[in-house]
Structure 1
Amino acid sequence: MRYVNKWSALLLAGLWGCGEPALESQQQQDFGPQTATVYQPLSASTRPGMGASVYSGGTTFRVWAPLAKTVYVKGDFSGWNGIALGSEGNGNFSGDVSGAVKGQKYKFVTINQWDGSAEHADPRSAWQENSSGASIIYDQGTYFWKSQQFSTPPFNEMVIYEMHVGTLYDSPGGGPGNWTSAIAKLDYLRDLGVNMVEVMPAFEFAGDFSWGYNAAYPFAPESAYGTPDDMKRFVDEAHYRGIGVIFDVVHNHYGPSDLPMWCFSGDCLGSGGEYFYTDWRKNTPWGSTRPDYGRPEVRAYIRDSMMSLTNAFRADGLRWDATKYMRTSDGNEGNSIGDAWTVFRSINREINSTQPWKISIAEDFGAGDSITNDATSDTSGGGGFDAQWAGEFVHPVRQAVIESNDANRDMNAVKNAITQRFSGRHTARIIYTESHDEVANGHSRVPEEIWPGNAGSWASKKRSTLAAGIVFTSPGVPLMFQGQEILEDGYFSDGDPVDWNKLNSFGGIKTLYRDLIRMRRNWSNNTRGLRGGNVNVYHVNNTNKVIAYHRWDVGGPGDDVVIVANFSGTYFSSYNVGFPRGGLWYARFNSDWNGYSSDFGNTATLDTNANAGAKDGLGYNGTIKLGPYSLVVFSQ
């Protein structure tokens, strides 16, 4: 039957406009010059899909609005006149709109139980004109993928480069960088040896400049960066170069501004409506916008946004931001939110069962071993994450190189950082010295913190690259932050692009990182142990600030690796350490080589014979030269 009531007559006459002709394919009735076109209410659709799902000849619209009395869709396809959707009786309203096609704009209008109306973009919008504008119909199946043979690297072979689309490759002033400009740096990253990029949140947020952690539309790529097809092309081009893509996702809070789902049904329930907690659990450090993980429909909303990335966008992994603020209200374990564990487990189980080669990473700091182990333990009792960011690594290693006084460096803390692991798996932790959090929020880049205002100094170069050497030779999945390899200074800002001119000044430092990455990935087939899970930190000299450790997978020539690191400014002309086997050990890497920087000492750390004789609990020992603030790597 056709609808006519006081609300619709008023709204159709004014708010919806009648500037464009109605579609002939929809039944309509003209109520005279004082009203706009009125459409016959649609029956609920039998087609699948939430949001806007394109079919041949039209689009199915389906939206969850459990507290609404009526829901309309309007857009370019209807001259912005409203079409009533059919109720499915489960909180969903849906309908098939013939003639609605990809690229047309649309919005929903909800009528609450008091006949109040509100206009919203689609909470599941896959394409937004901007954060406060209309949704745009998008067909996920129309992009043609050219890279069909890509395989995600195994976890133990991953080397991750964290990047921000808006600042990776851009010029100061004007708008932010975008997917196309980021693609232009992929050849560089491939040549550096990176095989995974982790993209800071790139989903529609308020304004054009942001870190991305204020995402308002978890299904829609940020419009300032480009279209959904542009985002797919970035993934496609990365895959074409052998690089996987991890997307950073935010579900501990939304927005808090420009939220399409806020009070969606027109009943705010005393706060934000059905999508959000409305009691003490709503409060987060970033606003009172924590989604209600206890509602199956909200869990489905989060799940579908994740699967859109791993399926439609072919992502190779997900990095879940601040999971501690999903499972607690304020980071305090006493204020736990048990519903969050259901979200973790259900989604990670699905990824593990359908695409187990894709990595799921939690950011979950400061909760103690029992909780952090739970995050990465299996879904029968834990969160089921493959890995989590390791604060237990980054903080002691940064401290050991930022400290200005050699006497205060703690080699036992460095040892613990190297050996710490979650759930007994070496790949269950992401290790780094620079990330978006560690180079802002009161922190700076490591070279900057070593010598504020003089990040290009000898001390900054030596000690920051020493820390990088620990990252790439320790058990774990190594990560670096954009520009780290060219000694970026200062702190990270969403309006300050990476200064690629630093390649001219610090190209040797970039080569140092390239060499570390190649060793970590066993490019020359003589450092396989760096991909293995075994480590023995057998030499800890806290007086002279030297540490040595053995890495291996199955052991033997080409597998066993010995690392010796000097955290002091002292040059050692003859330093004796243990070796796990006798014979000749080849010097594969020396961070003091002056090819990396002309002011490095070029200490002659040469191939070394390990002779029989107990040392450091091992059966053999060898004597080497060791430069200040330097790391050397040996293998057979």
Structure 2
Amino acid sequence: MKARRQNMPFGAAVERDGSVRFRLWAPAARQVQLCLKHPEGERCLEMIATGAGWFECRTAEAHAGTLYSYRIDSGLEVPDPASRFQPHDVHGPSEVVDPAAFDWGTHPWNGRPWHEAVCYELHIGTFTREGTFSAAIERLDHLVALGITAIQLMPVADFPGQRNWGYDGALLFAPDSSYGRPDDLKRLVLEAHRRGLMVFLDVVYNHFGPEGNYLHLYAPQFFTERRHTPWGAAIDFDGPESREVRAFFIHNALYWLNEYGFDGLRLDAVHAILDDSHPDVLTELAETVRAGPGRDRRIHLILENDSNAASDLARDVGGTPRRYTAQWNDDFHHVAHLIATGERDGYYADYAGRPLYDLARCLAEGFAFQGEPSGFRHGEPRGEPSADLPPDAFVNWLQTHDQVGNRAFGERLHMLTSPEALKAMLAILLLAPSPPLLFMGEEWMARTPFLFFCDFGEDLARSVTEGRRQEFAKFTAFADPAVRRSIPDPNDPETFTRCKIDWNSASEPRHQEWLAFHRKLLELRRREIVPRIGQIRAGAAEIALLGDQGISVCWRLNDGSRLILGANLSDTELRLPGASPHVRATLLHLEPPEAGPDLEANRLPPWSVVWHLKADTNASGGVEVRAVGV
């Protein structure tokens, strides 16, 4: 197979003749030396200033496997910001990697259609006991049998230390060495493709991590004091020297898609990417990807965006995404979590006023907040109208790294609610038309928590630990400083170890029951829901509230049929209005299954969910279906 290589204007590139070209953008440096780390000793070569802040050196003294660094103004040595591998972590030398050396074989793969997506988010370091790319391969067959079609890797870009969520990446082109070598990650992608699994990568373009980023020293133009984010000075995407900055991140996206064969990217917290240019960097990135690898392969770009900018998800007349494929739908999670647990602290308070309506609106229209004021955001309007977007523009979930890991003790949802409520929510999540996402271990209700963990240097570690505990001071349960001190220390290695999935316990009967439950629903989704997703008419869904206990949502299909959800999301029985839901309807799923007699009598027991498929009764002279029952 043709070698996969992303040609970039920076970094180390192995040439056809075996020599290596090194290029660095260092506009604040007067002099840059290339320092080659040979076994017999160091060899430093002067890099030539080629103008506009660029330095370059071509040499036959380097080859794949050579370690190197850049010496700035005869002082500090720094790693390559475009390093493909850091065998000795973020402060050590970089390694020359020849991407042409990996054998991709001849397995044909052009991706999968987005509407088939059932996503599974995992953290490489805690997904297996070994915490490596290679060990993750051993669990791919489990995911295929579960019904997963896409794995979503949390960020793997090189971070400081041996353990991190990944959102503190400092060298964005280098897979972290604690997980394995670049070829190990490529092998994981290849083996996933051989099993029919798409692979998405979480990337962070809104900030660099607080340790190991040396750009401030020789390329301060990467940042601007004109704007600030929660992580400090914003990355400068629209300043006078932003062309190189934008190219750095756009090439990074292309690098993961081209050189590693990823099927898509999930862009973290893009509301913190501050850019007033036209087109802004997010638009340029998406258009470049669509015109590049997206021409020949199915590439899916997914956003995390607190702004709920529906315009980023617009489709063309044929229904193809113009820029971004979908967005992680925080609204769905927040309101579903509130309903299942009763928790109303923090951002959950925004959904406390009308939770049933907000949940139904998420299912029918995407966002709950489509321009309404957000109390959590001090009354600022949030979101844009999203009702005209198709359901597959929104990824829904009940648990992710954020929603589990940002709890003080990393509790999973099954520890916070009843099995009945959880099954009802899963029956909604896994059968609704929007692509669902599961968090690693969720499919069998793993007992291991997912805590916040990191491995910073001593001073930063102390600050992070205290800051983490102080974050919870505003919650009543943590008002006592002694209670806050019980929150696990993110820098303690044991905090990380506790998060590793215990796959041995998955064979226990209770866990196997939950696994079977997920498999059953995902098989039903594959058979009955997925073939109909493309036929759902955007903007035509209907919702109704069933008193203060339940919801009904009806999606209209192009053939006139309807997919209908009814749910009682309360602890008491719900009496349904109107005629029996079984009239001229096919029952797809009832949860709990033993609720059949109640449904026949027009009742829904507590925490019950029913899915129907109803044919076009108008065509045969029947009465028009309205979503006011089930």
Q: Same fold (TM over 0.5)?
A: yes
- Alignment correspondent of 1:316: 263
Q: Distance in 1 between matches of 2:343 and 2:252?
A: 46
Moved more, 312-321 or 253-262: 253-262
Offset of residue 578 of structure 1: 5.9
Contact 2:365 2:541 survives alignment (8 Å): no
Does 1:235 find its partner at 2:189? yes
Contact 2:265 2:300 survives alignment (8 Å): yes
Partner-residue secondary structure (3-state), 1:633: strand
Q: 1:107 to 1:216 in 2, by over 3 A?
A: same
Q: How does 1:399-418 map to 2 (within 5 A)?
A: 399-403=338-342, 410-418=355-363
2:403 to 426, 438, 441: 438
Amino acid at match of 1:570: T
Offset of residue 554 of structure 1: 2.6
Does 1:353 find its partner at 2:294? no
Does 1:420 find its partner at 2:365? yes
1:387 to 319, 326, 333: 326
Q: Distance in 2 between matches of 1:48 and 1:516?
A: 44
1:97 to 59, 84, 88: 59
- Alignment correspondent of 1:363: 304
2:596 to 597, 604, 620: 604
- Alignment correspondent of 2:152: 198
Offset of residue 299 of structure 1: 0.6
Partner-residue secondary structure (3-state), 2:426: helix
Contact 2:360 2:552 survives alignment (8 Å): no
**Structure 1: gaps of 5 or more residues:** 1-46, 171-175, 266-272, 328-336, 451-458, 594-601, 609-621
Q: Distance in 1 between matches of 2:277 and 2:179?
A: 33
Q: Distance in 2 between matches of 1:469 and 1:376?
A: 26
What does the per-residue CA deviation read over 1:567-615, in whole Å, with 9 as the maximum and x for residues that have no partner?
123356x8566689953x343323324xxxxxxxx33369x9xxxxxxx
Does 1:142 find its partner at 2:142? no
Offset of residue 633 of structure 1: 2.3
Partner-residue secondary structure (3-state), 2:43: coil
Q: Distance in 2 between matches of 1:576 and 1:489?
A: 41
- Alignment correspondent of 2:132: 178
Amino acid at match of 1:604: G
Q: 1:388 to 1:344 in 2, by over 3 A?
A: same
Q: Distance in 2 between matches of 1:75 and 1:260?
A: 19
Amino acid at match of 1:255: G
1:344 to 282, 303, 325: 282
Contact 2:551 2:566 survives alignment (8 Å): yes
Offset of residue 473 of structure 1: 3.0
Does 1:561 find its partner at 2:563? yes
Q: Distance in 2 between matches of 1:145 and 1:578?
A: 58
Q: Distance in 2 between matches of 1:603 and 1:582?
A: 17
Q: Distance in 1 between matches of 2:126 and 2:325?
A: 28
Q: Distance in 2 between matches of 1:158 and 1:323?
A: 22
TM-score (structure 1 length as normaliser) = 0.75
Contact 1:344 1:383 survives alignment (8 Å): no
Q: Distance in 2 between matches of 1:48 and 1:445?
A: 42
Amino acid at match of 2:60: S
Does 1:284 find its partner at 2:229? yes
Amino acid at match of 2:37: D
Q: Distance in 2 between matches of 1:386 and 1:526?
A: 19
What does the per-residue CA deviation read over 1:348-384, in whole Å, with 9 as the maximum and x for residues that have no partner?
001122344211111111x3x5xx12332479xx993
What does the per-residue CA deviation read over 1:372-426, in whole Å, with 9 as the maximum and x for residues that have no partner?
12332479xx993222121222111211111289x99842222122122336232
1:498 to 497, 501, 505: 501
Does 1:634 find its partner at 2:612? yes
Q: Distance in 1 between matches of 2:145 and 2:8?
A: 44
- Alignment correspondent of 1:549: 553
- Alignment correspondent of 1:26: none
Q: 1:409 to 1:491 in 2, by over 3 A?
A: farther
Q: Distance in 1 between matches of 2:525 and 2:286?
A: 28
Q: Distance in 2 between matches of 1:301 and 1:256?
A: 19
Amino acid at match of 2:531: R
Contact 2:69 2:80 survives alignment (8 Å): yes
Amino acid at match of 2:269: A
2:420 to 454, 462, 471: 462
Q: Distance in 2 between matches of 1:135 and 1:252?
A: 24
1:259 to 213, 216, 239: 213
Identity of aligned residues (%): 26
Amino acid at match of 2:282: F
Contact 1:512 1:591 survives alignment (8 Å): no
Q: Distance in 2 between matches of 1:519 and 1:262?
A: 53
What does the per-residue CA deviation read over 1:216-258, in whole Å, with 9 as the maximum and x for residues that have no partner?
0110001100011011111111111111111100111101111
Q: Distance in 1 between matches of 2:416 and 2:566?
A: 24
- Alignment correspondent of 1:39: none
- Alignment correspondent of 2:162: 208
Contact 1:363 1:388 survives alignment (8 Å): yes
What does the per-residue CA deviation read over 1:516-569, in whole Å, with 9 as the maximum and x for residues that have no partner?
222223x2x5773355434634542124x232333354336xx74332222123
Q: 1:221 to 1:89 in 2, by over 3 A?
A: same
Amino acid at match of 2:305: D
Partner-residue secondary structure (3-state), 1:508: helix
Does 1:81 find its partner at 2:43? yes
Offset of residue 73 of structure 1: 0.7
- Alignment correspondent of 1:188: 142
Q: 1:409 to 1:482 in 2, by over 3 A?
A: farther
Contact 1:162 1:199 survives alignment (8 Å): yes
Q: Distance in 1 between matches of 2:581 and 2:279?
A: 43
Q: Distance in 2 between matches of 1:307 and 1:59?
A: 21
Partner-residue secondary structure (3-state), 1:242: coil
Offset of residue 146 of structure 1: 3.3
TM-score (structure 2 length as normaliser) = 0.76
Amino acid at match of 1:446: L
- Alignment correspondent of 2:536: 533
Which of the two has higher C-alpha Rg?
1
Q: Distance in 2 between matches of 1:408 and 1:350?
A: 42
What does the per-residue CA deviation read over 1:248-270, in whole Å, with 9 as the maximum and x for residues that have no partner?
001111011111423126xxxxx
Q: Distance in 1 between matches of 2:533 and 2:502?
A: 31
Q: Distance in 1 between matches of 2:111 and 2:363?
A: 26
Does 1:69 find its partner at 2:69? no
Contact 2:24 2:54 survives alignment (8 Å): yes
Contact 1:159 1:194 survives alignment (8 Å): yes
Amino acid at match of 2:587: A
Contact 1:85 1:93 survives alignment (8 Å): yes
Q: Distance in 1 between matches of 2:544 and 2:283?
A: 40
Q: Distance in 2 between matches of 1:286 and 1:297?
A: 21
Amino acid at match of 1:137: V
Contact 1:155 1:359 survives alignment (8 Å): yes
Amino acid at match of 1:565: A
- Alignment correspondent of 2:484: none
Partner-residue secondary structure (3-state), 1:219: strand
